[in-house]
């Protein structure tokens, strides 16, 4: 509860802050620059990904990693310590 008045005071002070004007701060070449050409989002993203195919790829990758780790584990367990 002691922090609430402090928070209110900080917010009031932030509301009274004087922000610098941005007009005229850009370079002349930026003022006359053309906007980039807008394209539909679907074109930028490419063809949609099939969730089932992506899930199958991830599952295949995880299975391969699991098998590699199991083999590594078996190799470590079968190693003789001298």
pLDDT tens digit string along 27-52?
888 888 888 899 888 888 888 888 89
Nearest alpha carbon to residue 65 among 54, 76, 57, 51: 57
Domain of 69, in residue numbers: 3-78
What's the pLDDT at 71?
A: 97
User: Which tokens go with 31?
Assistant: 């003022």
What pTM, to 2 d.p., does this model score?
Answer: 0.41
- Number of domains into which the chain is organized: 1
């Amino acid at each position: 509860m002691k922090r609430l008045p402090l928070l209110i005071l900080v917010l009031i002070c932030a509301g009274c802050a004087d922000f610098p004007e941005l007009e005229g701060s850009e370079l002349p070449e930026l003022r006359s620059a053309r906007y980039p050409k807008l394209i539909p989002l679907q074109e930028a993203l490419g063809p949609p990904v099939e969730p089932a195919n992506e899930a199958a790829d991830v599952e295949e990758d995880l299975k391969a990693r699991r098998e590699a780790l199991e083999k590594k584990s078996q190799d470590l367990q079968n190693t003789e310590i001298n």
